[in-house]
Each structure stands twice: as structure tokens, then as C-alpha cells.
């Protein structure tokens, strides 16, 4: 399903000088079936009460789903994928360490793709479940 000819180093290089780098998001696993990234729970990703900010979880989810969408394109020189809707259910808080997002496809269509990301803490507890819908468009 995924174009696994890309290395983790290449995926992480795509995150330089943008939101991924700013929040410390790092891709850590790519298989044919799923993509995993980790994000620190620190001063960049916490809300004022000291808990993981829900918006940071959404950034992790959208980043994973967008890259997953890119990796599923038959020819990324002719097409790209853009987000059209995202939702997130925040199920448990995190105060420190890392959270890990695992992104898997729900549907990979010709024009619409739907991705689910489950975010867990280091103990494996489910922190957030998010769904991203992307639209595949031609590059002109």
C-alpha cells in the first residue's frame, strides 16, 4: 500500500523547517501497512495546565495522515493529497515523555482517502483517536 522506497531519514527531512520540526515530531517506523511517529510531551506541546495540548495531538495526526496519503500516491510528481477534514477524540491526558501516533488507512480511494491515527503514551495507553480525510488532486 505505501511506497516504502522512502527512508525514515527522508521522511524526517521533509519535516525540517515546518511544524513537525517545531514540535519535535519524528517518524520512527514505516511498513507497508502503517506509519508511526513520536512527539515529545514538553513545553512545545503542553497547554497551560501542564497536559498535552489537544491541538498538538491533532498536528501529530494530520502530519501522519498527510505523509501516509503522500506515500500511497501512485505518482507523487503528478498528484498530491490535501486535508479536507479532521476530528479527534481526546481520551486520556499525558504530562511527560513521548506520545506515539500509529496511522493506518480506513479507505484509500482514487480521489478520497481516510486515515485513522491512534495516539498512545509510552505505557501503551490510548490518549487520542483521530480521523483525517484527504483529497487527491492533480498537480498542474
Extract the C-alpha cell encoding 35: 506509519
Q: Rounded to whole angstroms, how far apart are CA atoms 81 and 74? A: 12
Nearest residue to 103 (alpha-carbon basis) of 67, 50, 74: 67
Which residues sit opposite 82 in a β-bridge? 135
DSSP 55-120: HHHHHHHHHHHHHHHHHH-S-TTTEEEEEEEEEEEE-S---SSEEEEEEEEEEE-SSEEEEEEEEE
- Give yes or no: 62 in active site: yes
* Catalytic-labelled residue, pool 9, 26, 29, 62: 62
Q: Which residues are catalytic?
A: 62
Amino acid at each position: 500500500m505505501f511506497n516504502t522506497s522512502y527512508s525514515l531519514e527522508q521522511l524526517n527531512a521533509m519535516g525540517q523547517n515546518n511544524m513537525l520540526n517545531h514540535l519535535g515530531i519524528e517518524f520512527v517506523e514505516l511498513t507497508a501497512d502503517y506509519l508511526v511517529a513520536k512527539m515529545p510531551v514538553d513545553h512545545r506541546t503542553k497547554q497551560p495546565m501542564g497536559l498535552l495540548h489537544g491541538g498538538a495531538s491533532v498536528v501529530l495526526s494530520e502530519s501522519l495522515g498527510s505523509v501516509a496519503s503522500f506515500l500511497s500516491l501512485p505518482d507523487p510528481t503528478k498528484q498530491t493529497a490535501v486535508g479536507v477534514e479532521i476530528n479527534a477524540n481526546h481520551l486520556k491526558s499525558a504530562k511527560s515523555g513521548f506520545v506515539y501516533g500509529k496511522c493506518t488507512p480506513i479507505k484509500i480511494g482514487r480521489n478520497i482517502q481516510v486515515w485513522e491515527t491512534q495516539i498512545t503514551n509510552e505505557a501503551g495507553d490510548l490518549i487520542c483517536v483521530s480521523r483525517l480525510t484527504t483529497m487527491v488532486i492533480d498537480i498542474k
